[in-house]
Copies of this chain bind each other. A is one copy, B any other.
């Protein structure tokens, strides 16, 4: 294992120190990453979190128009309730707090406990479960939450920034999740620093179809084929679950170890597939956003847009990982 770390024990702490040093817009305190300019009175607070190793998710999405706080756990490990309680109390501006929770058993339990124990704060939780690959998985009852988390955080964050009340922000988060589907494919495994060896073994000739973001098994292991064929597998899986139609937001996401050049090759195939179904790529994102350490591979996430969701997607955002103004 060759990793740019000081020790397996300190990797999350050290990375958070780096984030704090790089981004004056963030404050890191007791393993929670906050917007330095929050909380804003009357604004719904957004809190998310999960295991580390998926950067920029979640801490890289803290900022104007997205999250108010992120709770990073150890690598591929749920944050503990104390972190989430601290974050929830701290970001409440009097309008309540939305928890955005990826559907993994540990995350769900710890966010639930934190919601109960938060200090008189009104909390609504939204579960993200967009991954169509498998029904149940290694750490999950029901579908896993993956790429759509970014979409939920972005669009619910934009609505909260506009001053919408908690029930509306929660409703749009739920809607975005319901309109989104993902499918991932791994070309390689990855190594959790504390484990020191690859999470799973994948022969040099094979790929894992429907991989989870912690290396959970997918649908099948098959010999490597072209980018066109792999994109086709991912898109067919998505399309058969939620038919592609109308305007779509499409993300081709790198797992962490795949060159951007290759992600663009995949995006070209995904865009051609979408066109072939008579739908339209109205908005897109290509890059490393929901990663699994140095895993090679990609995932596709598709969301069916309407006018309101398009507006929320386009709204200004100012975070380390996603940044634009229109």
Contact = CB atoms under 8 A, between A and B. Distances in A.
Q: Which of A262, A323, A325 has the most CB of B within 10 A?
A: A262
A139 interface: no
A246 interface: no
B22 A267 contact: yes
A129 to B, nearest CB: 24
A140 interface: no
B261 A22 contact: no
B265 A296 contact: no
Interface stretch (A110-118, A214-222, A251-259): A251-259
Q: Which of A16, A204, A257 has the most CB of B within 10 A?
A: A257
Q: Which of A5, A228, A320 has the most CB of B within 10 A?
A: A5
A265 B4 contact: yes
Given A256-B259, A271-B21, A230 B4 contact: yes
A293 B257 CA distance: 9
Interface in A29-64: 52-53, 55-56, 60
Q: How many copies does the complex hold?
A: 2
A265 B5 contact: yes
A305 interface: no
A2 B258 CA distance: 10
A109 interface: no
A22 to B, nearest CB: 5
Contact of A294 (B7, B14, B259, B268): B259
A286 interface: yes
Given A207-B2, A226-B5, A288-B288, A15 B261 contact: yes
Interface of A: 2-7, 11-12, 14-19, 21-22, 52-53, 55-56, 60, 75, 187-188, 204-205, 207, 224, 226-228, 230, 256-269, 271, 281, 284, 286, 288, 291, 293-294, 296-298, 318, 320, 323-325
